[in-house]
Amino acid sequence: MKEIEFFVDLIFVNAKGWCLDLLGHFLPDWTVVLVSIIISAVVIMVLGPLVMMYLTLLERKVIGRIQNRYGPNRVGKWGLLQPIADGIKMFTKEDIVPAQADKIIHFLAPVIIVIPALMVFLVVPFGERMTAVNLNIGLLYFIAVSSITTIPIFMGSWASRNKYSLLGGMRTAAQMISYEVPMTLSVVPVIMMSQSLSTNTIVMTQAGDMDLHWFVFTPWGLVGFVIFFLCAVAECNRPPFDLPEAESELVAGFHTEYSGMKFALFYMAEYMNAFTLCGIATTLFLGGWQGPLFPSWLWFFGKTFLLICVMIWFRGTFPRFRVDQLMGFAWKFLLPLTLINIPVAALWFFVPEQLAWIYSVPILAVSLWGLVKLNRSFVPEKRIYPLAD
Amino acid sequence: MINTKSLEGSQMLEINFGPQHPSTHGVFRMNVFLEGEKICALKPVMGYLHRNHELIAENLPYAAVMAYTDRLDYFNSMANNFGYALAVEKLADIEAPERAAYLRVIMAELARIVNHLMLIGFLLNDLGAFFTPVLYAFREREKILDIFEEVSGSRMMCNYFRFGGVKRDVSAETLAAIKKIVAGFPAFLEEFEALLTENEILCMRCQNVGVLPADLAVNAGITGPVLRASGVNYDLRKVDAYGLYDRFDFKVPLGKKGDVYDRYYVRVLEMRESLKILEQALAKIPQGDILNKKALPFLKAPRNFKPAVGEAYGRIESPKGELGYYLVSDGTPQPWRYHVRAPSLINLTVLEDMCVGQKVADAIIILGSIDIVLGETDR
């Protein structure tokens, strides 16, 4: 029984191992290493776009259900071939470049945006021993690489020579840089607890107690998780933080002047970012691939898709923030809360567990309450309307 | 006009929102000067959908114009028909029989509900919601459009009213179907409000945004829910008591501040009042003729309809405001002069006053909350 579980758990790792063993019989060692790298790279290059394609389908289906309709169901069974049809459509569309655009940068922006989105996949632990590169600074790498995304978006918006794009690009720059600060700080308690920047080690520290010793079940973990997740939503420009695109205001924001495959690349990067950010949130706070009964990769993908469904749910129900409210939320609410969260986590580390609960819950609750009070200079009024004759 | 001289050398960004833009509700253009995201000046540009409605009408017999009025405010053709029918009836001194008058009220109130549903749905879309409120609103709107189709043969371009009555009688089954819709509607409104009214983001975005002071609203000739949201009690159904509105017991909801949130909520309350009117009308509707005997011959031969020399102004409380039709007759089969007082156009005149100093995102929702239809604005 245990053996079967172990086998299923490592099925992908073993499959790769067998391939390499087979090659090892008649190829020199250095080629085997090369092939190993290539296999990992190809898996990631395929996984990224595949995930993106079916995320679009998932999103359309879930939003359809939220809105009382079916969602795509014409192409293939349950619309399963819809992403492929969309892909063909995107490929065959005319590529329009505005006459006044800076052609080189206009071309480079969508190309560059996909690269960090794919690079981030390297450090995501998809399952037990299923991290492509086990970097000892994995988390730092993730934060650094994912923040590059701002630049191609700004390049695209600036090179388009379109005022809507320009406004969208300005909003992107402001928004993404603002939200990176609380996002990075919300990760600090996790690093303090696991004493490592390696994503693998972080997952390992959350083992024990039926594999349910996740950071999210502690007060500081819960606060950190919520902040990280909100920042993640803002980072990948999804509602209610979708100001850079803001369909109703800026037509399509930074990608107004993109069509065809270039537009598809922006779209792809956005969805891959959404996936990796949810994956990293899972890794940091929800125990990564840890979990009882099911194989590790199933746990990882299950948790990640659950978070993505929450993002889709946001999109189906929330209106958009205004730009000043968005900034205020990051700087006046999320940032102070993360700064309080770090000492609370430190307290947790040094104090025995039961005492720590007694300390940290009130501290966090009071600071949350205080921040809400301070931020609500404007409290949504309850209005009573007179009915005249 | 914007004084561009004073803007020279400044860091302002000029943007044309429209005529092709997802949130201008048609081919409407806003010439906006921005400083960062703040609006410094705004000029509405209309006329892209101008199609000579008034001149066409002046070259047609009175009866033929009815079909053209459908195309003014294409979301509630029933209300447009009502106003025109009233104007011609005043001119020729015809009155609609009792049953027809009841049917008119029922159809006009159903049209009001359809219009307000659409407005709230699209206002939320302007706010950035991804079509969820719109589709919920459409689900209910669909039921009412089915009724329109059943009574008039068309879902949107109803052309249902005639001088001195209505086109077709309504069967008992249809009336029962309307009753069923009216009975089920409050539950939908509860659901809709649960999603929207106390939503934190909606409150943050809408409250104290785009305030229209009551005195400015009155001076600019604003009418309809936009005026009432500013706290002015002026509803033509009460003031004029045209049709049969003096027989029904209903209230006029008033706002306090005149911001976008008030304009949203006044419409929700108006839908509730419309339901009250519908309930009473459906309970009281009598049997009888649906067309005045005097008007019957002109139905077959519209060119014989030659009202005496004179003028008339018929106005109704359309869902968007005071919709008025001014007619001058010189005794020929065509009106000598025909003019439409379009509430969409006149309500737009205060757009700049509401928008200056706000953010870009606010301008979009302020425009959305005024509730314009370009078919009516540009004519």
Token pair for A222: 């819960």
Distance of CA A192 to the CA centre of its chain: 22
Mean pLDDT across A265-282: 89
**Could you tell me if residue B225 is inside a domain?**
yes
Position A14 pLDDT exceeds 80: no
pLDDT in tens, A312-360: 999 888 888 888 888 888 898 889 999 998 988 888 888 887 888 888 8
**Residue B24: phi, psi to the nearest 5?**
-95, 10
Q: Are strands B321-329 and B335-341 parallel, antiparallel or unpaired?
A: antiparallel
* Number of independent structural domains in chain B: 1
Question: What is the rounded CA–CA span in Å between residue A5 and residue A8?
Answer: 5
Q: Which residues of B touch A320 (CB under 8 A)?
A: 127-129, 201, 205, 361
Find out whether A181 and A329 touch, Cβ atoms under 8 Å.
no
Residue B2 confidence (pLDDT): 47
**Band of residue A374 on the pLDDT scale cut at 50, 70, 90:** confident
- Count of residues in chain B: 379
A5 pLDDT band, cuts 50/70/90, is low
- The pLDDT, as a whole number, for residue A160 is 86
Handedness of CA B175, B176, B179, B185 (dihedral sign): negative
Going by pLDDT thresholds of 50, 70 and 90, the confidence category of residue A229 is very high
Whole-number pLDDT of residue A2: 62
> Which of residues 265 through 294 in chain B touch A, CB cutoff 8 A?
265-266, 269, 273
Domain of B224, in residue numbers:
53-378
In a domain, B30, yes or no: no
Are A69 and B135 in contact (CB < 8 Å)? yes
Tell which residue, B346, B260, B341, B311, has the closest CA to residue B69: B341
The pLDDT of residue A228 is 92
CB spacing of A322 vs B255 below 8 angstroms: no
What pLDDT sits at residue A124?
A: 87
Q: With 0-12 CB in 10 A as exposed, 13-18 as middle and 19+ as buried, what is B38?
A: middle
Residue B127: which CATH number? 1.10.645.10
Which of A248, A316, A321 is nearest residue B125 as measured by Cβ atoms? Answer: A248
Predicted confidence (pLDDT) per residue in A49-99, tens digit: 888 888 889 999 999 998 888 888 888 888 888 888 988 888 888 888 888
Cβ of B132 under 8 Å from any chain A Cβ?
yes
Least Cα separation, residue A322 to chain B (angstroms): 7
* Separation of alpha carbons B257 and B279, rounded Å: 31
Residue B325, pLDDT score: 92
Q: What is the structure's pLDDT at B73?
A: 86
Low-confidence ranges of chain B (pLDDT < 50): 1-2
Measured distance CA(B217)–CA(B349) in Å, rounded: 10
Q: Which residues of B touch A321 (CB under 8 A)?
A: 128, 201, 204-205
What is the average per-residue pLDDT within A147-153? Answer: 88
- Residue whose tokens read 């749905």: B121
Considering the entire predicted model, what is its pTM? 0.86
What is the mean pLDDT of the segment spanning A279-283? 90
The arithmetic mean of pLDDT across residues A148-156, rounded, is 88
Cα B342 from Cα A354, distance rounded (Å): 70
pLDDT, mean over chain A:
84
- The predicted structure's pLDDT at residue B9: 61
Structure confidence at residue B7 (pLDDT): 56
**Does residue B197 lie in a domain region?**
yes
State how far the Cα of B258 lies from the Cα of B230, in Å rounded to an integer.
Answer: 4
| Residues in A lying within 8 Å of B, measured between beta carbons | 63, 66-69, 163-164, 166-167, 239-240, 242, 246-251, 315-325, 378, 380-381, 383, 385-389
Check B204 against A247: CB less than 8 A apart: no
Instruction: Name the B residues in 204-223 with CB < 8 Å from any A CB.
Output: 204-205, 207-208
Chain A residues touching residue B267 (CB < 8 angstroms): none
ipTM confidence: 0.81
Q: Rounded to whole angstroms, how far apart are CA atoms A175 and A152?
A: 14
| Beta strands per DSSP E along chain B | 13-17, 29-35, 38-45, 161-162, 165-166, 252-253, 310-318, 321-329, 335-341
